[in-house]
Structure 1
Amino acid sequence: MELNNIDNILEKYFEATTSVAEEKALRAYFSGEEVAPHLEKYKPLFAHFTKAKEEVFTKQVPFKKSKPKFKFMYAAAAVVLLLGMFIGNKYIEQRKLEKEQAEYAYQQTKKALNLLAENFGKGTSKVAYLREFEETKQKIYNH
């Protein structure tokens, strides 16, 4: 292979723009006996890549079946959720009951005030008679 061509492909290789065929040509060139002296420093690099490509991992990796660390966490979360819903429902019902009691107390107070106003109106008409009686009495005593 032409030396200029190898230099160009090597430059493209380090810029990560080579094709698979060009990389194969570089591996073939650097695995051969005749390598240009200024490119001799790249020979161990490509020798390592060739050797690494042939390596296979053969050791068995034991997988432990892990136990759930929080086995009761799901049940506890469900209990807390249900408890929250129960307490929230009780709170809402209590608020409704308090509102109904307040409405009932308001209606009873309104009735009592209306009754008072009605009787107060009757009382003022009687006071007019008392005033007339008082004026007549004063006329009698003054004459």
Structure 2
Amino acid sequence: MKTRIEELLEKYWEAETSLSEEKELRKLILESEGYEKEKELFQALGNFRTEEPQNLSIPKTKLRRINSTWISWAASVAILLGSFWGWRTYEQKQAEQAAYEEVMHALALIQTNFSKGKQQMQPLNDLKYLNTTNQVFQMDQKTKQ
């Protein structure tokens, strides 16, 4: 028995024992004669495990509660402001689109009228190539004299 205790003590001090071997060692030491230092150690360890700490409490931190009424009011205001801003942006984009369409309509009207005027000037352009415009103007000058 003493050889078994010696073997287990040697393994215990080398930190090579398992839990079952430690239980066996504790039992053997408490039952045998001698080994007073080891008995005190194992009794202290046994007392340490069974003893519960006193006055050990975790201080509770105060939780700061935010009033849910204020949160709902803030959310409502945020939604209203977001809606107002979105509506203003939408209206501005619509106004820009309407102005763009109006300018394009005006430019199309100018182009149409310019084309009509150009078509009406086409006969005079043909006269230029016939070299008759000078003759027409000279005749007018002769009749006026």
TM-score range, shorter chain: 0.5 to 0.7
Matching residue within 43, 48, 67 for 1:47: 43
Larger radius of gyration: 2
Q: Is the 8 A contact 1:31 1:43 kept in 2?
A: yes
Residues in 1 aligned to 2:7 and 2:120: alpha-carbon distance in whole angstroms: 123
Superposition TM-score, scaled by structure 1 size = 0.64
Q: Gapped runs of 5+ residues in structure 2? A: none
Q: Which runs of 5+ in 1 are unaligned?
A: none
SS of 2:118's partner is: helix
Contact 1:27–1:50 under 8 Å retained in 2: no
What are the Cα deviations for residues 5-62 of structure 1, in whole angstroms up to 9, with x where unaligned?
223434158335222xx433322333356235xxx653432121133345355x5778
- Which residues of 2 match residues 47-126 of structure 1 at below 5 A? 47-56=43-52, 67-68=62-63, 70-72=64-66, 76-126=70-120
Higher relative contact order (CA 8 A, sep 6+): 1
Using the alignment, how far apart are the partners of 1:54 and 1:25 within structure 2?
Answer: 19
What's the RMSD between the two structures over aligned residues? 3.7
Question: Once the two structures are aligned, what percentage of the paired residues are identical?
Answer: 23
How many angstroms does 1:97 deviate by?
1.7
1:27 aligns with 2:21: no
Q: Does the CA-based 8 Å contact 1:29-1:35 persist in structure 2?
A: no
Amino acid at match of 2:134: Q
Aligned length: 135
Displacement of 1:107 in angstroms is 1.6
Q: Aligned letter for 1:92? A: G
The answer to whether the 8 Å contact 1:30/1:43 transfers is yes
Maintained 8 Å contact 2:8/2:17: no
SS in 1 for 2:111: helix
Residue range with higher mean Cα deviation, 118-127 or 22-31: 22-31
State the TM-score, normalizing by the size of structure 2.
0.63
Match of 1:139 in 2: 135
Q: 1:26 to 1:75 in 2, by over 3 A?
A: farther
